């Protein structure tokens, strides 16, 4: 933060704000009338991070993004960008650019004009502008489309134009609002990979909003899980998936089998609230024996669902709760496997379960 | 799905309705070329004599000029106020927004004679000199709503994200208006302006109450000369011209507001 190079690149970083975070929300609250959209939220995003704000709709994640972008003013709290308090700074004066959910490309301009817009209003000389626009279009592999209008592009191409239009300004932070939400599934998966590679390439901090847990797990370095305007957990994908801290996180990220109260005592041998991932569980015959180091509990198969790559079995534990068990589909093809109504034994390695508060 | 008979009946009714509305207008147009001074029907001979006579009539020409000036003046005011009002209503939330929106629409529903008398009284109280300016102000009361409605519809359709995107990319408020909002709004404003002009151009009631004796718009001139048999053919020509001049802007405006956003740049 105090190195000379850094000082050159971002003079504002010198008036040492709190910490080295690129984006910092400090006890931020946002109210719309009587509705509290974001409640005293504190969050740090590190420089160069690919950071996901994940949560169901209405959980406050988009409001957070809009506050970082400057489109909403927090009711209380401060927002810092690269060490500078920008709470009162207008969107056009923030070194942040946004890729909007609907891309918000200007329909009356060509792709080139769209991408060059930020440079034009900043009065960057025409020559440099052209070069940088070309470069940006090359980054998203759209060089050949410069003279088209947004209306003549496909969804995926428009998305890349929106990316180029934001990146060409070399922002400190790029904000992405449900960047892949409008694309069909195949394209979405492809763009997930492209976005990740692009982010590594340009080295800019990316903050993106999504309600899709797969997307967050696939792309993000760290994930902030939102619920009702508060943070439930912040951590790496491995953290939030394998070590969820609350029942909500366990349930929202992936599928979780949960047990509490008497069922917890019966299944896990302890009081508390536990979660266990479906893929951690093996299904044995009722008469089968668990391996050493495994825990087992009896259950009955309620349903068997073939889902392509996996087979999902819904089971009701003798101890009460209904769980889901997944297995790779090769097993299903090779083995007859337990069917509906069969009594089985569920087994998992000791410690595979996660205690939730 | 209506039956074949029902469809035929409906078509006949609609045809009849359209004939009732448009046949008299067609007669006016044809009669402007009718060589008979008393409009003998059917016309035995066609002539452009009345048109050239109308063109040379100083009264009609000065009235045409007044009408155009009043129309342009009222349209200019309507464009400025209507656009500003549309922005305020479409982009901001404030106390009384719905009421103001309603109050803007009201003048078009108010009987012209009420608006006319009210304005006449107001101008008298204010001690204003009646003339072109009072006509323009009178016309703009109901012209604003046309621009306002067109601009508001376009602004709502565009939504706010394009403007947000522009600001996000570093453009200030004026740059955003100049490069993004205005270009996308332009055709809607043009359409609204044309409608406003057309409405002002053929207005007579409010004009009656807001003009001075020496100042005549085309409709006032027609009304004044209507009962002079000598002038009848010229009046008819002016009426025909008025039809064309009023229909053209409306037709253009309809084409413009129907086009997709941004298709014309």
- Note the pLDDT tens digit of each residue in B194-230: 989 988 988 889 999 998 888 889 889 888 888 887 7
CB-based contact, A14 to chain B, within 8 Å: no
CA distances from A292 to A284, A289, A348 (A): 14, 9, 10
pLDDT at B1: 61
Q: For residue A291, what is the DSSP state?
A: P
Give the pair of three-digit tokens for residue A161. Answer: 């134009």
pLDDT at A20: 61
pLDDT tens digits, one per residue of B25-74: 998 888 888 888 777 778 888 888 888 888 888 888 899 899 999 999 99
Cβ distance of B165 and A100 shorter than 8 Å: yes
Say which residues have a Cβ less than 8 Å from residue B2's Cβ, sequence separation at least 6.
Answer: B10
Q: Give yes or no for residue B261 having a pLDDT over 60.
A: no
Nearest residue on chain A to B173, alpha-carbon basis = A92
- Mean of pLDDT values over A184-204: 86
Q: Give yes or no for residue A55 having a pLDDT over 60.
A: yes
pLDDT at A4: 36
Place of tokens 């009711």: A75
CA distances from B122 to A355, B142, B209 (A): 79, 16, 11
pLDDT at A10: 35
- Mean of pLDDT values over A334-341: 70
Same fold? A4-251, A257-355: no
Query: For chain A, which residues make up each domain, given as ranges?
Result: 4-251, 257-355
Nearest residue on chain B to A90, alpha-carbon basis = B167
Place of tokens 């305020």: B88
Q: How far apart are CA A44 and CA B144, in angstroms?
A: 51
- CB count within 10 Å of CB B58 equals 7
- Mean of pLDDT values over B168-183: 92
Whether the CB-CB separation of A345 and A298 falls below 8 Å is answered with: yes
Q: Give yes or no for residue A18 having a pLDDT over 50.
A: no
Mean pLDDT check: name the lowest of A174-188, B35-49, B127-141, B184-198: B35-49
On the 0-12 / 13-18 / 19+ scale of CB atoms within 10 A, A287 is exposed
Q: How far apart are CA B182 and CA B174, in angstroms?
A: 10
Report the residue of B165, B181, B261 to disrupt the A interface, i.e. the one with the largest count of A CBs within 10 Å.
B165
- CATH numeric code, A257-355: 2.40.50.100
- Mean of pLDDT values over A179-198: 85
A4-251 is classed CATH 3.40.718.10: no
State the helix-helix crossing angle for B4-31 and B232-258, rounded to 10 degrees.
130
Q: How far apart are CA B55 and CA A89, in angstroms?
A: 63
CB-based contact, A32 to chain B, within 8 Å: no
Say which residues have a Cβ less than 8 Å from residue B140's Cβ, sequence separation at least 6.
Answer: B73, B74, B77, B78, B81
Q: Degrees (nearest 5) of the Cα angle B37, B39, B43?
A: 110
What domains sit in chain B, N to C, each tagged with a CATH number? 58-258 (1.10.3720.10)
Whether the CB-CB separation of B52 and B233 falls below 8 Å is answered with: no
Q: Give yes or no for residue B142 having a pLDDT over 70.
A: yes
- CB count within 10 Å of CB A98 equals 30
What are A261-265's contacts with CB under 8 Å, separation 24+? Answer: A262/A319, A262/A320, A263/A317, A263/A319, A263/A320, A263/A321
pLDDT band (50, 70, 90) for residue A78: very high
Place of tokens 């979780």: A256
Q: Which residues of B lie inside 8 Å of A (Cβ-Cβ)?
A: 161-162, 164-172, 175, 179-180, 183-184, 261-262, 265
Biggest alpha carbon–alpha carbon distance for chain A: 78
- Mean of pLDDT values over B178-192: 91
pLDDT band (50, 70, 90) for residue B264: very low
pLDDT at A25: 93
Whether the CB-CB separation of A226 and A55 falls below 8 Å is answered with: yes
Cβ distance of B165 and A108 shorter than 8 Å: no
Report the residue of B95, B167, B169, B179 to disrupt the A interface, i.e. the one with the largest count of A CBs within 10 Å.
B169
What are A213-218's contacts with CB under 8 Å, separation 24+? Answer: A213/A54, A213/A252, A213/A253, A213/A254, A215/A52, A215/A180, A215/A188, A216/A52, A216/A54, A216/A253, A217/A241, A217/A253, A218/A192
Q: Give yes or no for residue A19 having a pLDDT over 60.
A: no
Q: How far apart are CA B147 and CA B156, in angstroms?
A: 14
Give the pair of three-digit tokens for residue B226. Answer: 């209507």
pLDDT at A62: 92
Helix (H) or strand (E) holding B134: helix B132-158
Q: Give yes or no for residue A336 having a pLDDT over 80.
A: no
Q: Which one of A93, A104, A169 has the shortest CB-CB distance to B165?
A: A104
Nearest residue on chain B to A151, alpha-carbon basis = B263
pLDDT band (50, 70, 90) for residue A186: confident
pLDDT at B260: 44
Whether the CB-CB separation of B186 and B79 falls below 8 Å is answered with: no
Q: Percentage of chain A surpassing pLDDT 70? A: 92
pLDDT tens digits, one per residue of B92-136: 888 888 898 889 888 888 888 999 999 999 999 998 889 899 999
- Mean of pLDDT values over B7-21: 94
Residue burial A222-242, b: 16+ Cβ < 10 Å; e: rest: bbbbbbebebbbbbebebbbe
pLDDT at A326: 87
Cβ distance of B171 and A107 shorter than 8 Å: no
CB-based contact, A171 to chain B, within 8 Å: no
Q: How far apart are CA A253 and CA A212, in angstroms?
A: 9
Mean pLDDT check: name the lowest of A10-14, A15-19, A83-87: A10-14
């Amino acid at each position: 933060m105090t190195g000379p190079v850094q000082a050159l690149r971002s003079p504002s970083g010198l008036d040492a704000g709190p910490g080295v975070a690129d984006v910092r929300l400090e006890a931020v609250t946002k109210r719309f009338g009587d509705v509290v959209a974001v409640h005293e939220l504190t969050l740090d995003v590190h420089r160069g991070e690919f950071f996901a704000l994940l949560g169901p709709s209405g959980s406050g994640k988009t409001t957070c993004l809009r506050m970082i972008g400057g489109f909403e003013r927090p009711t209380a709290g401060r927002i810092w960008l690269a060490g500078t308090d920008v709470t009162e700074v207008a969107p056009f004066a923030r070194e942040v650019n946004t890729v909007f959910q609907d891309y918000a490309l200007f329909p009356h301009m060509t792709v080139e004009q769209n991408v060059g817009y930020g440079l034009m209003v900043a009065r960057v000389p025409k020559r440099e502008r052209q070069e940088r626009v070309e470069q940006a279009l090359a980054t998203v592999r759209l060089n050949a489309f410069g003279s088209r209008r947004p209306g003549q592009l496909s969804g995926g191409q428009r998305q890349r134009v929106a990316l180029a239009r934001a990146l060409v300004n070399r922002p400190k932070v790029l904000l992405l609002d449900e960047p892949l939400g409008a694309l069909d599934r195949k394209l979405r998966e492809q763009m997930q990979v492209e976005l990740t590679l692009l982010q590594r390439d340009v080295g800019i901090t990316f903050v993106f909003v999504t309600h899709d847990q797969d997307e967050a797990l696939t792309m993000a370095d760290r994930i902030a899980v939102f619920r009702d305007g508060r943070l439930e957990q912040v951590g790496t994908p491995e953290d939030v998936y394998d070590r969820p801290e609350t029942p909500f996180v366990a349930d929202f990220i992936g599928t979780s089998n949960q047990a509490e109260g008497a069922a917890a005592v019966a299944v896990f041998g302890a009081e508390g609230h536990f979660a266990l991932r479906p893929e951690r569980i093996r299904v044995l015959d009722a008469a089968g024996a668990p391996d050493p180091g495994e825990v087992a509990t009896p259950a009955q198969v309620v349903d068997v669902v073939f889902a392509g790559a996996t087979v999902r079995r819904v089971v009701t534990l003798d101890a009460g709760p209904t769980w889901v068990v997944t297995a790779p589909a090769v097993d299903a093809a090779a083995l007859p496997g337990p069917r509906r109504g069969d009594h089985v034994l569920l087994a998992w390695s000791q410690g595979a379960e996660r205690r939730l508060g | 799905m209506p039956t074949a008979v029902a469809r035929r009946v409906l078509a006949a009714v609609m045809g009849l309705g359209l004939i009732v509305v448009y046949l008299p207008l067609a007669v006016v147009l044809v009669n402007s070329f009718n060589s008979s001074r008393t409009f003998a029907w059917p016309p035995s001979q066609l002539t452009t004599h009345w048109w050239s006579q109308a063109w040379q009539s100083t009264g009609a020409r000065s009235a045409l000029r007044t009408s155009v000036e009043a129309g342009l003046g009222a349209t200019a005011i309507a464009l400025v106020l209507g656009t500003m009002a549309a922005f305020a209503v479409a982009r901001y939330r404030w106390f009384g927004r719905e009421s103001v929106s309603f109050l803007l629409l009201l003048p078009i529903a108010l009987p012209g004679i009420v608006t006319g008398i009210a304005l006449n009284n107001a101008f008298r109280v204010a001690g204003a000199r009646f003339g072109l300016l009072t006509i323009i102000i009178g016309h703009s009361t109901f012209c604003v709503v046309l621009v306002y409605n067109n601009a508001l519809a376009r602004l709502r359709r565009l939504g706010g994200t394009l403007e947000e995107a522009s600001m996000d990319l570093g453009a200030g408020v004026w740059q955003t208006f100049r490069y993004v909002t205005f270009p996308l709004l332009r055709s809607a404003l043009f359409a609204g302006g044309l409608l406003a002009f057309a409405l002002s151009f053929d207005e007579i009631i409010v004009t009656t109450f807001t003009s001075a004796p020496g100042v005549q718009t085309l409709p006032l001139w027609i009304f004044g000369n209507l009962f002079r048999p000598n002038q009848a053919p010229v009046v008819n020509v002016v009426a025909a011209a008025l039809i064309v001049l009023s229909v053209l802007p409306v037709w253009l405006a309809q084409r413009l507001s129907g086009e997709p956003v941004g298709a014309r740049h």
